[in-house]
């Protein structure tokens, strides 16, 4: 039986939320940056196991530098959340723990995955050191450009939502 | 003082003016050289001239280049008719469609006005022979709106519970999400928590949104969506929703008896109900 789940993708401006979704849904990537206004909705059906699928309705929310300003009405009825930061811009993860606290308050008991994107632009070892020093806990380090970990993170979310159902 | 010194003094006296003149010339040349070699200084001098010339040139374009551009465009259009039609078709098509729809509406109103007298008699005869009241006939004539698509959507998440459509559209689940986002945005924007977005107009389509507590129903309508159509549609929606809630209640009671978790209404069953309720409905 297929279940539909609302998944919101959020984070600061230009961290690559739309690119991650485009890579996951259409397997494409573009260097042209187009800012998301409001929200953009797409869908992808993920097969968890034979005959067991989850239809992910992806809400790509416009980026904001202040997470507290996210429109609450867009978060209503959310089943899962993906929080994206840009590994090349410390300003997008310096206050990550505070940002995640705000999101958790807005979305209590909703499974959340934290993703550091644009991994292709930095040295993995250096990055892990920096993130460790800043006490930043993440679930995935991804690259929408190369496709690294993109499929994995959404599959992980689909699995969490399936268990949660 | 010898002869040579005397000559020098004499030269000094005689050529003082010339020397001063030479010095002034030399200074001017130096300033000119600096102006020519320094971009900033040169641009300050040249810019107003170029600007003036450009302005003159722009003004004279219609006279000087106009005929050439027109001729070239004409030639290009002549040589690439198909491409031009291809590029303009969507825009013109839309304009023509809108214009024709509007003109047809106007024409229909004019004819209605002119044939009003005949129509009234026709309705009287029909009412006499078939027993359909004149009011009912009048309503039937006016209501030409058609239901194209119906979506039962969970209010908060925008998740589609069931859908019914007469024509193929993009993914219904995405449409449901988008309707919900628009609805949320408008309701947020006007800060009216107790008011709901009721309709969206899209050229020849009208999207009616009927909100309930946990769900809302979006109905896409084509044609002339009048107040009487709206009333009929609302009746259909209320009837359907009443049935839907009854199905839910039945399930809750079944579940209570069996001590099982609540099972949501089967989507296929819901879609059959939607098709039954809205498929052949006339509004």
Q: Which residues of A touch B174 (CB under 8 A)?
A: 41-43, 57
B266 touches chain A (CB under 8 A): no
Tell me the three state secondary structure of residue B180. Answer: helix
Q: Is A38 left (phi over 0), alpha (psi -120 to 50) or beta?
A: left
CA angle B184, B187, B189 (to 5 degrees): 100
CA-nearest of B165, B268, B214 to A2 is B268
Q: Across the interface, which of A4, A42, A72 has its CB nearest the CB of B160?
A: A4
| CA-angle at A112, arms to A106 and A117, nearest 5° | 115
> Under an 8 A CB cutoff, do A43 and B188 touch?
no
Which residues in chain B have Cβ-Cβ distances shorter than 8 Å to A6? 157-159, 177
Structure tokens at B74: 């004409």
pLDDT of the residue at A56: 95
* Greater pLDDT, A31 or A17: A17
Task: Walk along chain B (283 residues) in steps of 10 and give the mean pLDDT of each run.
Answer: 81 80 88 83 83 85 79 79 68 66 68 67 76 71 79 91 84 91 86 79 88 89 84 89 78 60 76 90 83
Measured at the CA of B132, the angle between CA B130 and CA B137, to 5 degrees, comes to 120
- Distance from C-alpha of B182 to C-alpha of A18, rounded to nearest angstrom: 19
Three-state DSSP at A19 gives helix
Asked if this assembly's ipTM is beyond 0.85, the reply is no
Contact B181 A38 (CB under 8 A): yes
Q: What is the pLDDT of residue B203?
A: 76
pLDDT at A49: 87
CATH code reported for the domain at A3-164: 3.40.50.300
Cβ-based contacts of A78 with chain B (< 8 Å): 157
The reply to whether CATH 3.30.200.20 applies to domain B146-278 is no
Best A43, A53, A70, A72 residue to mutate vs chain B (most B CBs within 10 Å): A43
Identify the pLDDT of residue B168.
Answer: 75
Structure-token pair, residue A89: 């811009």
Gap from B151 CA to chain A (nearest CA, Å): 15
Instruction: Provide the number of CB pairs (under 8 Å) joining chain A to chain B.
Output: 53
B260 vs chain A: nearest CA distance in angstroms?
15
The H or E element spanning position B107 is helix B81-130
Q: Which DSSP category does B261 fall into?
A: P
pLDDT band, very low/low/confident/very high, at A165 (cuts 50, 70, 90): low
Chain B nearest C-alpha distance from A68 (Å): 15
Per the model's pLDDT, the better-predicted residue between A104 and A35 turns out to be A104
Asked if residue A46 has pLDDT above 90, the reply is yes
The whole-number pLDDT of residue A118 equals 95
Q: Reduce the DSSP state of residue A44 to 3 states and report it.
A: strand
Tell whether A38 is within 8 A of chain B (Cβ).
Answer: yes
Q: How far apart are CA B282 and CA B34, in angstroms?
A: 86
User: Domain spans of chain A?
Assistant: 3-164
Residue extents of the structural domains in chain B: 3-66, 81-140, 146-278
Out of A59, A72, A76, closest to residue B177 by CB:
A59
Q: What is the pLDDT of residue B17?
A: 80
Interfacial A residues in 55-94 facing B (CB < 8 Å): 55, 57, 59, 71-74, 76-79
Token look-up 């029909």 returns B126
Question: pTM of this prediction?
Answer: 0.64
């Amino acid at each position: 039986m297929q279940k539909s789940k609302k998944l919101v993708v959020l984070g600061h401006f230009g961290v690559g939320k739309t690119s991650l979704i485009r890579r996951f849904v259409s397997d494409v990537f573009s260097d042209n940056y187009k800012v998301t206004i409001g929200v953009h909705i797409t869908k992808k059906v993920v097969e968890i196991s034979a005959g067991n699928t989850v239809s992910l309705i992806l809400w790509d929310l416009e980026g904001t530098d202040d997470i507290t300003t996210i429109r609450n009405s867009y978060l209503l009825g959310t089943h899962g959340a993906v929080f994206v930061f840009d590994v090349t811009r410390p300003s997008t993860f310096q206050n990550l723990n505070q940002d995640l606290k705000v999101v958790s308050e807005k979305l209590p008991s909703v499974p959340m995955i934290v993703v550091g994107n644009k991994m292709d632009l930095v040295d993995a070892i250096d990055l892990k050191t920096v993130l460790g020093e800043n006490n930043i806990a993440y679930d995935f380090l991804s690259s929408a450009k190369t496709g690294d970990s993109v499929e994995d993170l959404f599959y992980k979310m689909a699995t969490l939502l399936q268990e949660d159902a | 003082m010898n002869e040579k010194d005397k000559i020098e003094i004499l030269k000094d006296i005689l050529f003082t003016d010339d020397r001063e003149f030479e010095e002034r010339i030399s200074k001017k040349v130096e300033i000119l050289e600096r102006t020519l070699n320094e971009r900033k200084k040169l641009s300050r001098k040249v810019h107003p001239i170029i600007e003036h010339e450009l302005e003159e040139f722009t003004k004279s374009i219609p006279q000087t280049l106009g005929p050439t551009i027109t001729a070239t465009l004409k030639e290009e259009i002549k040589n690439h008719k198909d491409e031009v039609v291809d590029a303009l078709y969507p825009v013109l098509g839309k304009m023509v469609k809108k214009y024709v729809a509007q003109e047809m509406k106007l024409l229909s109103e004019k004819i209605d006005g002119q044939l009003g007298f005949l129509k009234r008699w026709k309705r009287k005869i029909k009412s006499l022979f078939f027993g359909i009241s004149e009011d009912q006939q009048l309503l039937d004539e006016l209501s030409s709106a058609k239901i194209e698509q119906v979506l039962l959507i969970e209010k908060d998440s925008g998740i589609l519970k069931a859908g019914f459509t007469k024509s193929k559209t993009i993914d219904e689940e995405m449409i449901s999400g988008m309707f919900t986002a628009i609805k949320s945005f408008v309701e947020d924007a006007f800060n009216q928590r107790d008011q709901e977005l009721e309709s969206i107009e899209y050229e020849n389509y009208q999207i009616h949104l009927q909100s309930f507590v946990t769900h809302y129903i979006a109905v896409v309508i084509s044609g002339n969506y009048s107040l009487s159509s709206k009333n009929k549609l609302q009746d259909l929606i209320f009837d359907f929703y009443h049935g839907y809630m009854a199905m839910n209640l039945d399930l809750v009671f079944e579940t209570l008896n069996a001590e099982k978790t609540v099972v949501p209404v089967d989507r296929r069953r819901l879609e059959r109900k939607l098709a039954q309720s809205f498929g052949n409905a006339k509004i």
